Amino acid sequence: MNMEFIEAIHELEKERGIAAEVLFEAIEAALISAYKKNFASLQNVRVSIDRTSGEFKVYARKTVVENVEDPRTQVSLEDARKIDPNYGLEDVVEYEVTPRQFGRIAAQTAKQVVVQRIREAERGMIYDEYINREGDIVTGVVQRYEQKNVIIDLGKVEAVLMAQEQIPGETYQPFERIKTYVVEVKKTTKGPQVLLSRTHPGLIKRLFELEVPEIHDGIVEIKGVSREAGARSKIAVYSRDPNVDPVGACVGPKGSRVQTIVTELKGEKIDIVNYSTDPQEFVANALSPAKVSGVYPKANEKIALVVVPDYQLSLAIGKEGQNARLAAKLTGWKIDIKSESQAQAQNLIPVEPEPEYNEADYEDYDQYSDPAEYEEYAEYDENAEYDEYDEYDEYDEYDDNGDYGEDYAEEEYYDEEGYYDEEGYYDEEGEYGEGTAALPEDYADGDHYVEEYDDYDTYEESEARPLTERDRAMLKYFEADEKASRKGKKKKGKG
């Protein structure tokens, strides 16, 4: 062995993280075995490697005795004191017995031992690293499926996500990065085996520790977690600082913190409730989002009767009893949920009598008890200010084309539907009626009503209203205009 060997040992120490002293001790132990095997020696020997130069020597070890029975392992006191006068009985004397042809054997043995010891050291390091991470969260990359198990690469070791530890309905794509919970680390002949879980309640707790700084700093504490993986989870949180809201800290601004965890768990719902040392308050909080009317605990049996409003009964129980089941796991109490009507019918809770009405209790609250206070409203008439109001008065003199008088242009009057003449009212397709030249008898000077047509030529009976002076003036004008138009047509026909 030479300096190159020493440099290689130190290089391995840097790359693999294996202490050089461990490798030296392993090589020394291997050389002892090689010496005894190749030289048929039964002596008790020791191999020493110089840590600086790489030179090695073999020493035979013999015990000092008065009477020598086995010269291969014993030496007399007289012979020992020839070497060193300080030797006494039961001391060990070492003789150098390094063979001349031991170099080649030592090199082959050293190679095999170094490779083997590197593997063992790496396995030991991995085991020591992950045994301390039991109950912690790790991030890995999905590698492959082996039957129903998923193999996940954690960097230094491949871990196993068992089928029963997978979230129901969840699928894992190759090279997908996922967070998992370390359940157990086993030491096997093939190296350490790391078992992971995605359904363990501890995964929820660790995810909140990663996302919520208040939990990491110890201000907010997670008191309990109950979980049905893939469906819903409940956690109870408590704040050591009265100025910090534990639920708000876990939810985060606009729900950002809890939403990150929900996304990691592929949409699993999470209920965050306040922890309380009072069983009544804690049980009521645990049944959130249902509203609880009352909690009646039996401390010696750890059973709590919970009464909820009738319309909240299904919400308190949850789908297939899920909400009640998670609340029971979270609190450690057996919960019996009843509606108010059921509880009263079974006499499970006392019926509170309705308070009696007493006029004396309300005398101070009648601010209008003195009739004189109403005098200022005596002359008030709800419609008095509208007595002289006429809905159409302001339009009496209004005309889009000017005054409705003789100055109006003598030409046929067109509207959206057609025009009027003496014969009747015409449109593009034909005649609708006899016009206004001869109004029906119903249109007397009394109350008149008008009819309206909508934009789609569909008749709709409008709200009846009396004709105003303006309407009557328009009708008279149309009659006069029709007569003039009729005369003009007859003249044109004769000409």
Give 2-49 pLDDT, tens digit per residue.
677 788 888 878 877 778 888 888 888 877 777 777 766 667 778 888
Residue 59's DSSP bridge partners are 46, 96
Which of 330, 293, 333 lies closest to 313, judged by CA?
293
- Structure-token pair, residue 492: 């044109």
Which of 267, 272, 166 lies closest to 212, judged by CA?
272
Q: Cα separations (Å) of 263 from 167, 215, 429?
A: 14, 20, 68
3-state secondary structure of 432: strand
Rounded to whole angstroms, the Cα distance separating 127 from 134 reads 11
Contact 39, 99 (CB under 8 A): yes
- Give the pLDDT confidence score for residue 388 in this predicted structure: 44
User: Which CATH number among 3.30.1480.10, 3.30.499.10, 3.40.47.10, 2.60.40.1190 corresponds to the domain 3-127?
Assistant: 3.30.1480.10
Contact 58, 35 (CB under 8 A): yes
What CATH superfamily is the domain 133-197?
Nucleic acid-binding proteins (2.40.50.140)
- Give the pLDDT confidence score for residue 46 in this predicted structure: 82
Show the low-confidence residues of the chain (pLDDT under 50). 365-369, 371, 373-464
Question: Tell me, what amino acid is at 387?
Answer: D
Boundaries of CATH 2.40.50.140 in the chain?
A: 133-197
- Give the pLDDT confidence score for residue 324 in this predicted structure: 93
- Give the pLDDT confidence score for residue 213 in this predicted structure: 92
- Give the pLDDT confidence score for residue 102 in this predicted structure: 66
Contact 434, 359 (CB under 8 A): no
Contact 317, 350 (CB under 8 A): no
Boundaries of CATH 3.30.1480.10 in the chain?
A: 3-127
289: left (phi over 0), alpha (psi -120 to 50) or beta: alpha
